[in-house]
Structure 1
């Protein structure tokens, strides 16, 4: 999909310019009047929906909102806006551009999906292909609304192509999740199990069932979550997925779209190295990379605007493998003074030792003995530094995540004993002893506590921690014991982000979230 889904910014092209009597329309310029006519138009339309992932809100600021805002991350950025909005829960500007970027990108993606859903049914084309493209659009709309529901909660539902006079009312988080359930259910019915090599990266049936399961679980609808996730674990789709033997393969560009990938956001760099992203509608040679790596990389290789909390390292160190080795996922997850267990003299950071970067003689340098950096989104294995156009895919939904979600759903549904095998699969890949052997009699509450540990060690820094804490009702000021930013957390307010004021100014019918 990296090389075959050519990004066409349909939403930008479909805006009809104001005309006067001297204006002459260019018949070759795509407009709503001459587009959506052919099968090619339909394909280009769905491609434009995927291109939304290359906008800065989704390829950069999403990770600040989901990783740095959670208790696993923090910011020491000289930019106080980043610190206040994503670490200290001191949000005073409801139009903060970086957060609004994500909000706008999600609605841009929704509008692109709606254009496909409104127009493709009327195109004369192969019906099987048509149904696939429509299913992809339902999946993508569901994905964007899932993100809005978990981060903003109560948001407007727009289910048809936007017009300049639309002023949709606020829908409750419950209503938004209900629509997400419908979209993923519809998508699952129409999506293929897999694609040929030229179309790898498109949403599959497994991705739809995985997202449907996540949606149910986020609402504590455990039996429904079990049913949805079962398709991937014990049902028809199980033969399509397996855990990678080498955990690190899930975060390297050379091993993208592997057997563990359930839904993977595709990034690539144009041969011309054009740095314009999807916010530049006038460019016909956009860069399709992600710009998050330099923000998470240590100086001098990046900006160090987002870092990991040290308690995460201690979480990994609670347990050794059956061969008395350190959990191999630790080194794959973080760069810090002991990414190499032998210490800073052997730990390599973009081809240089930790010692050569100032440790420990100058504790004021970055990195130093206290610093930990999220590694999974970086390119330290292949590059001497970071750039704004990384081609390393984001594995949004991995099979290991599915297995742990399935175990959590089973446990929540009162089937605690049945949850063990799926936790053990994830632990076995890391070389850890089976939970069923060392802690076989955990009750429902204790197993949930164990799953919280398992999700940290398997998924740290992958953007799921915030929704996990939200789902477990663990977001509170008590987290300040391991993340100082949470000292300012206000219950029944900071679980959600504020609705952008600029949207409320345009649409007075939008309600603000509680506490803002």
Structure 2
């Protein structure tokens, strides 16, 4: 993270410990008794909590939560997913190392947050400084729990630090209690944190970041708990962002993602990001790996090596209508023959819909020196377009397709067609849609606008549509995808493309509790089917 200071790295080192992060303790030579004494130490501790968002273990947004965890649905699929065990091939076991790495990294962030919250009051700093740090810490603790409950279901709710071996035996907390605790912590944090204009960048948690993520949490709770009462709360939080007057859409869609790579902050559109920086030649300071994995394949290290491991599905490609500029930015319109960027790019045939590389982030826009596998592209956690779409969805669930709901989604669509925000145009939705039809537009618009940003699988889960979508993909691939492979163009062939969807079953609605956790925690129970 670019905001991480040298003392924060010291804090990371002195608070490392054993592998089970439900059993996380500072090692003996530095303890809470002689830390957390001043603003510098509190800030270092806070940066250590942030650090787990982009952990170099790849367990969170450096790679796993950005690529593998949310992949293989109707949006994108990993090339060659039939050849190895992985979460996005739906053939991994509970002992798969990346399940364990993600689980432990998220609980490490929670442990660090708990230690800070328990020791913050002894610091000799002003109440204002304490409250701001307390607010960001409360939010981050809640956010880590939100990711855990989203992927694992019932998980241990950890609201205090682990200080002895006797505290590692913790049963799973029911999903509703976890959601309610997340909402409680995030709501408390809203009054404590600063406005984003105080930082003038999106790397820190701000009031509108809290409000926007709270809206997301409430929409997830509404769907996963089948409780419509959360929709009103979701709508209320989106309105806090919209009515703040701080945020608006960047008129140029592609510039949002160029900015992520070019180390440029646009706090109007981009509300919260995971920050990364490149390898400085001496140590890896939280460089991301998604930027060298999800893009247009090429083997040239000097111009930005790209594995090109993920391709868009033909289903997503077909969702974009004529004139929508998002399609040819999100999904590659060209490829490099023989994976050599020194040769001229070649346009895909117009009817080539399966196997095009994902192209949302492009390494040529990174401002740092290239490292083959690690880069400094930031990962978007919350954008203003998402807030508008969440408002439209919540409003529709409560009141139907009102003019306010129409206007929110039409703002996003007008930008997609490069039309003025105030103009009624061909980009606008058809009038007089039913509640169900409007929802279907929302569902597709989220796919088009937020493609490859890690939302699609979790959206389908909260809408109770993941299983049926995966079944429909079997038919789509069998009837519309070419049978032969074309490795140069990115397409692995029908058999390879089908494999994740054939592997999928209802057990995959949740990740398994890692085998290592089960062996350490006698109160832990496995998810169904694993």
TM-score normalised by the shorter chain: which range applies? 0.7 to 0.9
Contact 1:135 1:186 in 2 (8 A): yes
Cα distance, 1:490 vs. partner? 2.0
Aligned with residue 265 of structure 1, among 263, 266, 274: 274
2:73 matches 1:70? yes
Contact 1:264 1:394 in 2 (8 A): yes
2:234 matches 1:228? no
Give 2:416's aligned residue: 430
CA distance in 1, matches of 2:199, 2:17: 37
Give 1:102's aligned residue: 102
Equivalences for 1:320-359 in 2 at 5 Å? Answer: 320=322, 326-337=323-334, 350=341, 352-355=343-346
Aligned with residue 318 of structure 2, among 306, 314, 318: 314
Contact 1:193 1:204 in 2 (8 A): yes
Give 1:61's aligned residue: 64
Q: Runs of 5+ in structure 1 lacking a partner?
A: 18-25, 277-286, 321-325, 339-343, 361-367
Alpha-carbon distance change, 123 to 248 in structure 1, aligned in 2, over 3 angstroms: same
Write out per-residue CA displacement over residues 205-238 of structure 1, whole angstroms, 9 at most, x where no aligned residue.
11111111101111222111111111011x3x2x
Cα distance, 1:5 vs. partner? 4.3
- What is the DSSP-based 3-state SS (H/G/I as helix, E as strand, rest coil) of the residue aligned with 2:271? strand
- What is the DSSP-based 3-state SS (H/G/I as helix, E as strand, rest coil) of the residue aligned with 1:392? coil
Give 2:375's aligned residue: 390
What's the C-alpha RMSD, in Å, of the aligned pairs?
A: 2.9
Alpha-carbon distance change, 16 to 390 in structure 1, aligned in 2, over 3 angstroms: closer
Cα distance, 1:430 vs. partner? 1.3
Equivalences for 1:255-294 in 2 at 5 Å? Answer: 256-258=264-266, 259-269=268-278, 272-276=280-284, 287-294=285-292
Cα distance, 1:478 vs. partner? 3.0
Cα distance, 1:10 vs. partner? 2.6
**TM-score relative to the length of structure 1:** 0.83
**Greater share of residues in helix:** 2
Q: Runs of 5+ in structure 2 lacking a partner?
A: 19-26, 223-229, 300-304, 478-497
Write out per-residue CA displacement over residues 242-277 of structure 1, whole angstroms, 9 at most, x where no aligned residue.
11011112112236320201111111225x33453x
Alpha-carbon distance change, 314 to 255 in structure 1, aligned in 2, over 3 angstroms: farther
Give 1:363's aligned residue: none
Contact 2:95 2:515 in 1 (8 A): yes
Alpha-carbon distance change, 47 to 3 in structure 1, aligned in 2, over 3 angstroms: closer
Runs of 4 or more, structure 1, over 6 Å off, are 383-386
How many residues are matched?
A: 466
2:390 matches 1:379? no
Give 1:448's aligned residue: 439
CA distance in 1, matches of 2:399, 2:427: 17
Give 2:211's aligned residue: 209
Give 2:523's aligned residue: 509
Give 1:473's aligned residue: 464
Aligned with residue 420 of structure 1, among 367, 381, 406: 406
Alpha-carbon distance change, 299 to 187 in structure 1, aligned in 2, over 3 angstroms: same
Aligned with residue 302 of structure 1, among 294, 302, 306: 306
CA distance in 2, matches of 1:15, 1:4: 17
